[in-house]
Amino acid sequence: MSAPVSHLRQPLVLGNPAYAQITNDVLKPMESWPSKLWWGTFAVTASWLAIGLGAIAWQQYEGIGTWGLNKTIGWGFDITNFVFWVGIGHAGTLISAILFLFRQKWRTSINRSAEAMTLFAVICAALFPLIHMGRPWFGALWFIPAPNLRGPLWINFRSPLIWDFFAISTYFTISAVFWYVGLIPDLATVRDRAKHPIRKAIYGALSLGWSGANKHWVHYETVYMLLAGLSTPLVLSVHTIVSTDFATSVIPGWHTTIFPPYFVAGAIFSGFAMVLTLLLIARKVMHIEHLITIKHLENMCLIITATGMMVGLAYMTEFFIAWYSGSNYEGFCFVNRAFGPMGWSYWIMFSCNVISPQVFWFKKARTNVVVIFIMSIVVNIGMWFERFVIIVTSLHRDYLPSAWAMYSPTWVEFTTLLGTFGLFFTAFLVFTRVLPAIAIAEVKSIKKFAQPHAHPAHGHDEAAGGVPGLAHAPAAPEKGV
């Protein structure tokens, strides 16, 4: 006996649209002229990017002295922003790979945008170590472990900078391949619908001859599964390596074994918040509320709540260990973080990351779009300040009081940070115009009902993205969807 409708789980696709309708809804932004809202947003983000590029050019011309660094604080905004952007990039791979392996169907409407976000965030992160070199056109050569004109000199494999290079390049490569493989069926749909010959040729080349044959699907699913399994350890390893940049030092507040799980939880925490920020705007502008539903948003809020509690536990554990260790230096570091001259940054971090996510314990908050949007921004503000607190407040007062110093970022550092946000959002806006922002084939697989009787023109033709061969009779409601 089937359960009453009220006890069934909420469907992940609302309104039971036809397969052709799902295709039309997803591809409409690609096949129509951009709206005034898109152009206005693009103008703003592109101007941010231009300002950031100008700041980087000025810094390259004048040198690192344009930053507010000093003898005591050799890491400031640059490494803070680097760790922040690496963390943002973690949600994409988590949604795509780990949730795929655990057969979480709700990932299907959000994984494509999250994967694209990962690539853009990693590009933003990679800029800061390059800028920090001062002359990256020389320094970047030292990353390459190959014989060259330097003679017997090789790269320093003990350098944390090299760890970051290999971690980020591996993560970016695997994430890009995973993202592209998932795009292939949808690129074929765009190819079949394209009217302009150049557009058809471009998408035809990108779709690699995909025809939707059974053999293609078998190979596709095998490759996708292998890449998901390969990507999963990267979610844990990449930010673990970033955390060891700090944990292998002897600076009070950094030399601790809690950093790897602490950084990974924080990365997922901030990454999901950024996914929410982007998708809440995209679902409204693209009119795809029936594909990215409140259920999707609620599930992401629950993950934010869980990882936020992990981060809060890490904060309290740090204070406990500082007291329990009996080290005067370690104890002073954490007292200084909370009550020193830069204590304001600690309490911003604590309020945004520990206190504010508790609102998601209430279902009304988890299902209110305005509350979710505000909280996603608040969480990302808090996570940026977390990296600032870890880096700057641990350095500005270390072992010798005679070396204590304050840190004041300059306009170059602020505008460079603004430029990376410009790069991130501009790239995402362009992405929504040239590629499907939602995985069409995957969304069709989680419809609540099978397609009813329909003429091929109403949804079963390949050009419209239909799925031939499905049963014509309506299927029973699925509890798992």
Over residues 293-352, the pLDDT tens digits come to: 898 899 999 999 999 999 999 999 999 998 998 888 888 989 999 998 999 999 999 999
Give yes or no for residue 152 having a pLDDT over 80.
Answer: no
Quick one: pLDDT at residue 398? 79
> What is the rounded distance in angstroms from the CA atom of residue 461 to the CA atom of residue 189?
10
At 2 the pLDDT is: 46
Which tens digits make up the pLDDT trace of 44-90?
999 999 999 999 999 888 888 888 888 888 888 888 999 999 889 88
First CA to last CA distance, the chain: 18
Supply the mean pLDDT for the chain: 83
Phi, psi of 254 (to 5 degrees): -110, -35
For the cut 50, the answer to whether the pLDDT of residue 481 exceeds it is no
Question: Would you place residue 249 in the very low, low, confident or very high pLDDT band (cuts 50, 70, 90)?
Answer: confident
Q: Give the pLDDT confidence score for residue 139 in this predicted structure.
A: 66
Evaluate whether 270 touches 88 at the Cβ level (below 8 Å). Answer: yes
Q: Is 83 exposed, middle or buried (0-12, 13-18, 19+ CB in 10 A)?
A: buried
pLDDT reading at 459 higher than 50 = no
Question: Looking at 21-30, 89-98, 407-416, 417-426, which range is the least confident one?
Answer: 89-98
pLDDT over 60 (residue 453) = no
**All structural domains of the chain with their residue ranges:** 19-446
Q: What is the mean pLDDT of residues 182-190?
A: 92
Torsion of CA 50, 53, 59, 60, to 10 degrees: -140
Pick the CATH number of 19-446 from 2.60.120.10, 3.30.110.40, 3.30.1360.40, 1.20.1630.10: 1.20.1630.10
